[in-house]
C-alpha cells in the first residue's frame, strides 16, 4: 500500500511524518512546507467561542507541501514592485492535508507528477544534509581516525551519535580530506599505514 493516499486520515502529525519519510524514500523526492496554519491558533479561537478543542497532536489544521526540487518559493520583495514577483520553475507536485475533524488529519490532495527537474538517485535518498559530520561528533571522530580505526568500525559508533547517517564511505572521504588539510602531504609511513587500512577495508579477512 502506498504510504500516502488521498482520503487517508492520520491520527497525529507524527504518524503522518513517518508516512511522509517513507513516501520520500520510495519516490526519490522530498516535500517542503509551502504554507500551514496551526492547531494551537485554531484552539485559541475555539476556546474563545466555547467550541470543542482539536487534538494538539495534529499540529496543523491545514498544511500544504510542494516538491523541494520543483522550484524556488516566491521571492519576497519589498516596495512597489511586489506584483512582479514570479514563480521560477513550477513543479506541479503537491500534497495538502486538512484537519476536518477534531482528531484526524486528512489527505485532501496529492499531485504526484513532477516537471522541470530530475528525481534523486537511490544513493542520495539519505539527504546530504543528514549525512554530514555533526560538529559535536567531530573531535571524537578525529580521535578515532588518528588511532587508525577502520571507517567500517567507526560507523556503528557514529550511529549512536548525531552523525548516524554517515556511512563508511563518507567517513573515509572525511579522513582523506582531513589528511590533506592537516599535512598537505603524508609521510611514507603514514601512506603505507593508510594503504593497509584500505586493503583491510576492502577485504576484511586480510
Ligand atoms: Zn517535483
**Cα 114 to middle of ligand 1, angstroms:** 4
| Local confidence band at 152 (pLDDT 50, 70, 90 cut-offs) | confident
Band (188; pLDDT cuts 50, 70, 90): low
**Range 121-143 average pLDDT:** 66
The set of long-range contacts for 176-185, using a CB threshold of 8 Å and a minimum separation of 24, is: 178/142, 178/145
Q: How far is CA 39 from CA 3, 32, 158, in A?
A: 24, 19, 36
Q: Tell whether the model's pLDDT for residue 114 goes beyond 80.
A: yes
Cross-sheet strand order for the sheet of 60-67: 9-10, 104-111, 94-101, 60-67, 31-38
Residues 6 or more apart whose CB falls under 8 angstroms from that of 166 comprise 131, 132, 133, 155, 158, 174
Q: Please give the model's pTM, rounded to 2 decimal places.
A: 0.53
d(CA 145, CA 40): 47
Tell me which residues have their CB within 5 A of the ion that is ligand 1.
67, 70, 91, 93, 114
Ligand 1 centroid–CA 132 distance in Å is 24
Q: What's the gap in Å between 28 CA and the centre of ligand 1?
A: 10
If you measure from the C-alpha of residue 116 to the centroid of ligand 1, how many angstroms do you get, rounded to a whole number? 7
DSSP letter assigned to residue 57: G
Amino acid at each position: 500500500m502506498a504510504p500516502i493516499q488521498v482520503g487517508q486520515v492520520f491520527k497525529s502529525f507524527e504518524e503522518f511524518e513517518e508516512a511522509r519519510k517513507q513516501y520520500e524514500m520510495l519516490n526519490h523526492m522530498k516535500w517542503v512546507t509551502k504554507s500551514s496554519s496551526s492547531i494551537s491558533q485554531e484552539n485559541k479561537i475555539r476556546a474563545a467561542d466555547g467550541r470543542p478543542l482539536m487534538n494538539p497532536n495534529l499540529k496543523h489544521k491545514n498544511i500544504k507541501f510542494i516538491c523541494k526540487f520543483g522550484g524556488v518559493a516566491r521571492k519576497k520583495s519589498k516596495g512597489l514592485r511586489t506584483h512582479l514577483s514570479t514563480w521560477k520553475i513550477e513543479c506541479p507536485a503537491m500534497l495538502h492535508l486538512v484537519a476536518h475533524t477534531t482528531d484526524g488529519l486528512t489527505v485532501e490532495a496529492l499531485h504526484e507528477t513532477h516537471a522541470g527537474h530530475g528525481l534523486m538517485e537511490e544513493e542520495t535518498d539519505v539527504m546530504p544534509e543528514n549525512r554530514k559530520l555533526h560538529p559535536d561528533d567531530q573531535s571524537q571522530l578525529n580521535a578515532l581516525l588518528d588511532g587508525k580505526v577502520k571507517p567500517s568500525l567507526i560507523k556503528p559508533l557514529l550511529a549512536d551519535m548525531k552523525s548516524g547517517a554517515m556511512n563508511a564511505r563518507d567517513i573515509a572521504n572525511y579522513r582523506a580530506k582531513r589528511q590533506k588539510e592537516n599535512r598537505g602531504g603524508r609521510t611514507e609511513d603514514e601512506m603505507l599505514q593508510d594503504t593497509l587500512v584500505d586493503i583491510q577495508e576492502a577485504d576484511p579477512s586480510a
